[in-house]
Structure 1
Amino acid sequence: MTRGLYTAATGMIHQARRLDTVANNIANINTYGYKKDQVVTRSFSDELLLRLNNRQSPSSQPIGTINHGVTVEEVVTSYQQGILQHTGVNTHMALNGPGFFTIITDDGERYTRDGSFMLDSLGYLVTADGWPVAGETGPIYIGTEDFTVDSMGYIFVNDQYVDRLQIVDFEDPQALRKAGHNLFINSDPDNQILDYQGEVMQNYIEGSNVDAVKEMVEMVTATRNYESNAQIIRMIDETLDKTVNEIGRV
């Protein structure tokens, strides 16, 4: 009976993790360039059940298997592209295709799909948090003049070339880890950096790839599963209570 208790408990833990992930996705539904997370589930290894030796069966006989519940294998990020929205703001950039803008932080290079850039007081292209956007020669200085960015990421100020956006792609995007502030870090030194093959779109911005309807369905499903497992635990607890306090007195 306690096996059922443990199985239901693992189910509750798993559903709670699903709910946390869905809630975070929904909270970032309006975050530019946000990539949703998904929980990958793995069941515990099955155990073989054997009939114990007795007079009729001199040796143990397999009678089936039993599973002890599920666990979260990992949380993976979906890099499906969000909707590209026209903003008319010339510091806004979107990537049409896989790839990431490179951002210069105090902790080293980070990567993002959020192209809601702006100019700081010194005329440098920066993120909403003030981190410089990386060009091929370092931080990108625009100044106060008009500028354009072509589909290859080349930046022109008053029709004069000044730099190129440092845009990269990775052989294995799943090796990236979220580092906060809508940034990613490459956690695997063997994860090869690839040349960007997509298109840069100035005056556009990429929305979140969170589907509100799907996330709400996921939340309802996870909530019901959580409640079902909780009910199973209550039933087992009541049964154990009767076993100890009532049957035990007979």
Structure 2
Amino acid sequence: MLRGLYTAASGMITQQRRHDTVTQNIANINTPGYKQVNAVSHSFPDMLISLVGDKESGNSKRIGKLSTGVFAEESLASYVQGDLRETGKASNFGLLSSLNLNDPATGQPIPFDDSGKYVNEDGEVTYRPEAFFSVMDNNDQIRYTRDGNFTVNAAGELRTSQGQRVLGDDGNPIVLPAGLSINQLQSDALGNLVYNDNGVPTVAAKLGVAVVNRPQELVREGNGVYRAEDPEVADIRVGLAVADEAVVRQGYLESSNVDTAQAMVDLLAAQRAYESNQKIIQYYDKSLDKAVNEIGRV
């Protein structure tokens, strides 16, 4: 009986975390560059239950498996491309990324599904490479984001909406040349910020767009910012090339990729499952009450 209480309680905790994850997605529907998070649940190991036979025969009868509960294993980010929304602001930048990988065995492009994932015949999972803006926080640590809602401060530094410094492809923070405003710069598809210097097109800086070949290795920090525990494991290179299927769009912002309809379905499903586990606990509570206060008196 107590095992049933623990199983139902673990289900309630899991659904609460699932509910919190979906609520976070809904709260960030209008956050530029936000990537939806999906809660992944996993069951505890099942137990094989058998009915022990009598002493004379020694025979036992197999009853079946008994589940021991579920837990919220992890939260995975979905890097599906969000829609680009035109803002007309020169300090806004959007990334349109559809990077691909070739299968080492066949040399052909890997057929990723709509979620950016591919599972081969052996069950090995491969994720689509993703592009991010490289930024630096106040502790001089490199981070990655898809939020291109940038601003320029009094010192000419290009910064994110959260205050991080935007990095160039050389790894240094981007500082606009003296006397230039962001409105005088035009970005090409590779992120080169070009201005007119007495009739000569001159590159002031190049946005440090990082191509992450293993985005599943990134760790979410909040506010649409990610970090790489080990850049070599995540296989990161900085700087877009002509061959890359990713472009920078100035005057655009990438919208959140949250599916609002699916989010509402998941929210209601988590609520229903939570209530079901709650009723199971109430049932066990009544059974224990009867066992202690009524049967125990006999």
Q: Quick check: TM above 0.5?
A: yes
| Counterpart for residue 154 of structure 1 | 192
Amino acid across the alignment from 2:173 = P
14-23 or 193-202: bigger deviation? 193-202
3-state SS of the aligned residue for 1:201?
strand
1:57 and 1:185 mapped to 2: Cα distance?
A: 63
Matches for 1:81-230 after TM superposition, within 5 Å: 81-97=81-97, 98-107=130-139, 108-137=141-170, 138-142=172-176, 143-144=180-181, 146-158=184-196, 159-189=201-231, 190-194=233-237, 196=240, 197=244, 198-230=246-278
Which amino acid letter does the alignment assign opposite residue 181 of structure 1? N
**1:241 alignment partner in structure 2:** 289
RMSD: 1.5
CA separation of 1:11 and 1:140: change in aligned 2, threshold 3 A: same
1:128 aligned counterpart, secondary structure: coil
CA deviation after TM superposition for structure 1 residue 63, in Å: 2.5
Counterpart secondary structure, 1:179: strand
Q: Do the aligned residues in 2 keep the contact of 1:35 with 1:78 (CA within 8 Å)? A: yes
Alignment: residue pair count:
250
Q: Structure 1: which amino acid aligns with 2:89?
A: V
Could you tell me how far 1:87 is from its partner in structure 2? 0.6
Deviations, residues 124-154 of structure 1 (Å, cap 9, x unaligned): 2111122221012322223326010000111
**2:38 aligned residue:** 38
How far off its partner does 1:59 sit?
4.2
Summarize deviations over 1:143-198 as a string: whole Å, max 9, x none.
32601000011110223112211111222211111123321101234221146421
CA-CA distance at 1:45 after TM superposition: 0.6
CA distance in 1, matches of 2:275, 2:58: 45
Tell me the distance in 2 between the aligned counterparts of 1:57 and 1:162: 88
Deviates more, 1:129-138 or 1:31-40: 129-138
- The amino acid across from 2:213 in the alignment is E
Q: Give, in whole Å, the separation in 2 of the partners of 1:241 and 1:129.
A: 54
Partners of 2:175 and 2:3 lie apart in 1 by 64
Residue in 2 aligned with 1:18? 18
Gaps of 5+ in 1: none
CA contact (8 A) 1:169 1:193 kept: yes
TM-score (norm 2): 0.80
**TM-score, normalization: structure 1?**
0.95
Give distance in 2, aligned partners of 1:56 and 1:90. Answer: 87
Q: Relative to structure 1, is the Cα distance of residues 123 and 225 closer, same or farther in structure 2, using a 3 angstrom cutoff?
A: same
The percentage of counterpart residues that share the same residue type is 42
| Unaligned 5+ runs, structure 2 | 98-129
The CA distance in 2 between the partners of 1:56 and 1:40, in whole Å, is 48
The more displaced of 60-69 and 222-231 is 60-69
**Segments of 4+ in structure 1 off by > 6 A?**
none
Q: Distance in 2 between matches of 1:62 and 1:90?
A: 70
Question: What's the offset of the Cα at 1:231?
Answer: 0.9
